[in-house]
Structure 1
Amino acid sequence: MSSAPPNFTDVLSGAGPRRPMREVLRELADSLDDSAYLDNYGEGEYLAAFEAEVAHMFGKEAAVFLPSGTLAQLIALRVWCGRRGNFSVAMHPSAHPEFAEHGGYHFLHGMQRLQFGAPEFAAERMPTAKDFEALGQTPGCALLELPCRPLGGQLPPWDDLVATRDWAKARGVPLHLDGARIWSCRPFYGKTYAEIAALFDSVYVSFYKDLGGLSGAMLLGSADFIREARVWQVRHGGRLRTQGPFVAAARTGLQRTLPHIDQWVARAQAAAEILSRFDAITVNPTVPQVNFFQLYIRGDAAALTERHHALAKETGIFLFHALSPTVVPGLARTEIHCWAPAMDFDLERLAPFVERLLAAD
């Protein structure tokens, strides 16, 4: 979770100022009672209870807590492809294992990503059931990211998700959910986490991207899938002496933060509506589907960033860390991610601030 610089009164995007480690750890310790004990190489009542709690939330038989989402994804893909003797994976070209994990699935396990056509016509949009049907071969497994961060948090329509599930089931293809940010998907689908997860054979969730945990992820699925996943956890060096502090932070974040995330989605939508009134600004999606969206501004990325930071120091209003240039000349982009600080943001100050940001010198 990114942090905003200190001393800003209105922070729209980001997790707020960085906090001293001592303060964070003391607060975490104060949230525990004497019944919570450190796990021993993944064994312990506190950890087991948390794994069972999250598995029940998603309607799955079992779960295993892991130090990172990268490890969770690698294990899921390896188990499914290994079982089928088919080391190909159907996933979007911007899928996290492809662009953010240095292709670990390929370099460590020899798996190959199947392309949705050639060239990749699906690169700038969500994959659909028709894309999977047109693959031309049957993959060892398939992966969907909900929501898709590289595409501004877009989500496929429910009917298309069901159609993709039906495609996979008819071919015996395990369907894996990259649900790192699944926590913000309920308002769009109007479904419980268990109803969403029922479309997938395995699910990965993160505890630090939205819930504010120190680190940690969980992989969920059938009991036999999780038993095999634990073996691969050891093989990947992911069975730590203890994950107690990470488990405690994850559990605390789930209890304290999850009840507020639907409000964060509504705040992102309200902010996007104001921003989209300006001719020089485009938001993607037009109506945010989760608690973040992409912001496009016509102008020079470096100049606009510098102007934003100067105005932020003057007004106490903070919208983003930086704008990046896009492939379209004269068009800059950033991401607006609404977390807890956004709920205290005075939306009445947003339009006047943007007017000054866009004003010619």
Structure 2
Amino acid sequence: MDSHATPTDPERLARSLSVHGQQRRAPTRRLRDFLTRVEDGDLDTYGRGGAVARLEERVAGLLGKEAAVFMPTGAMASQVALRLHADARTCRTIGFHPRAHIEVHEHKGYEIVHGLHGRLLGEHDRLVTVQDLEAVREPLAAVLLELPQRDLGGRLPSWEELTAQTSWLRTRGIAAHLDGARLWEAQPYYGRPHAEIAALFDTVYVSLYKGLEGLAGAVLAGRSDLVDQARQWRARLGGQLHHAWPLAVSAEIGLDTLVPRMPAFWQRAQELAAALRGLPGVEIVPDPPQTPLFHVIVPVPPDVLAAAHQRFVERQGLELFLYPRPTTSPRCSRFEVTVGENAMALDPQGVRQSLLEVIQDAAD
């Protein structure tokens, strides 16, 4: 989530390193893109027909699933999927990493809205392992795995570890749900088709607005009967929009133009990490990046870094990150680098010099 970001004056901001920078998301640019794509036949009614149905069919095909349903948010998609798995197994306990999005950013919606009990798996600062699953001594309805683990810097388990975990779940009748908000970004690391990755899971959620740069929304894919039930829950939770075609069309643009670019974005992330590596007190997590997303730890407190970065933006018109986050040390902070077309327009050595300037300003 980027809810803590401080808005930047558009008149001062000329460039951004972030995939969420304003340059590619401005309304005028979006409208120009729409004019080349939209047709009257794209109109849907309450999520039925038009571009929404076309998008659902396309994503289901990409993920190798029987069916898919558009959801207005990823939070709704994952919570509904986990509820359905719990209902089917008459078990209310679900497992996930302590830093999973569903735990950190969704205000206990799985518990308050759906009556589910969360079981944290493993430790905060590492990925879930098979041993963490084996340590659970209570029945589980489902386990959510997040690929990549955003709050750990976009880390991914090896293919062997991932298949071992999902096989362990399957043999015990525990559902595997994929928080694949950034599955598009994770796929190049595995070098396997999206459908082969998704085949390890009973249900898969993908985001339409992060790496795809869509307006908003998500898609949940799985068996046809589960998807039909998910449509009912979408209506019950107030997520059945009268017209969702603009969200679907913007996602289709991302599928066409940005998914094929993910390997290049990953390569640029590695180039940026290499350029930043070696700056005094700076650490790259993970190093090297496993996706077009990684974290940078700097020896500056978050409030001091935010102020120095804002001054830099006002001087140079370049946004290096959206907002700094705390670390376990009060003397350090971290920020996220998310590589898309915005970052492709920036020279890695120039980014290095810019970050050095911010850090030196913060130290004065």
TM-score when scaled to structure 1?
0.92
Task: Find the counterpart in structure 2 of residue 328 from structure 1.
Answer: 329
Q: Which residue of 2 aligns with 1:54?
A: 59
Does 314-323 or 2-11 show the bigger shift? 2-11
Which residue in the other structure is 1:162 paired with?
Answer: 163
Cα RMSD, aligned residues only: 2.1
2:213 equivalent in structure 1: 212
- The structure 2 residue matched to 1:67, chosen from 56, 72, 75, is 72
Distance 1:239 1:343, change over 3 A: same
Where structure 2 has 5 or more consecutive residues not aligned to the other structure, the ranges are none
Pair 1:226-2:227 in alignment: yes
Shift of 1:190: 1.1
Question: Identity, % of aligned pairs?
Answer: 37
Alignment of 1:88-99 (within 5 A): 88-99=93-104
Q: Structure 1 residues 37 and 10, CA, compared in 2 at 3 Å: closer, same or farther?
A: closer
Q: CA shift at 1:8, angstroms?
A: 4.7
Q: Residues of 2 paired with 1:5 and 1:261: CA distance?
A: 29
Query: Which residue in 2 is equivalent to 1:139?
Result: 140
Q: Indicate whether 1:311 and 2:312 are aligned.
A: yes
How far off its partner does 1:313 sit? 3.4
1:33 aligns with 2:46: no
Letter in 1 for 2:112: F
Q: Which moved more, 1:213-222 or 1:8-17?
A: 8-17
User: Greater CA deviation, 7-16 or 97-106?
Assistant: 7-16
Unaligned runs of 5+ in 1: none
Q: How far is the alpha carbon of 1:317 from its aligned partner?
A: 3.8
CA change 1:169–1:331 in 2 (3 A) is same
Correspondence for 2:200: 199
Answer yes or no: is 1:179 the counterpart of 2:185: no
Of 69, 80, 85, 2:85 maps to 80
Deviations 1:183-229 (A, max 9, x none): 01122111110110010010000100111111111000111211222
Which residue does the alignment assign to 1:241?
242
Please state how far the C-alpha of 1:237 moved relative to its aligned partner: 2.0
Structure 1 Cα separation of the partners of residues 322 and 316 of structure 2: 15
Question: Which residue pairs with 1:268 in the alignment?
Answer: 269
Aligned partner of residue 42 in structure 1, secondary structure: coil
User: What's the offset of the Cα at 1:162?
Assistant: 0.7
Deviation at 1:39, TM superposition (A): 1.2
Structure 1 residues 100, 324: closer, same or farther in 2, change over 3 A?
closer
- Deviation, structure 1 residue 22: 5.0
User: TM-score under structure 2 normalisation?
Assistant: 0.91
> 1:16 aligns to what?
21
Distance 1:86 1:28, change over 3 A: same
Shift of 1:324: 3.3
Aligned counterparts of 1:236 and 1:294: Cα–Cα separation in 2:
34
Whole-angstrom distance in 2 between the partners of 1:87 and 1:209: 30
Residues 180 and 204 in structure 2, CA contact (< 8 A), matched pair in contact too = yes
| DSSP-derived class of the 1:237 partner | coil
- Relative to 1, partners in 2 of residues 1:246 and 1:85: Cα closer, same or farther, differing over 3 Å? same
What is the CA distance between 1:278 and its match in structure 2?
Answer: 1.5
For residue 43 of structure 1, the aligned residue among 48, 54, 61 is 48
Counterpart of 2:353 in structure 1 is 352
How far, CA to CA, are the matches of 2:159 and 2:42 in structure 1? 41
Classify the secondary structure of the residue corresponding to 1:40. coil
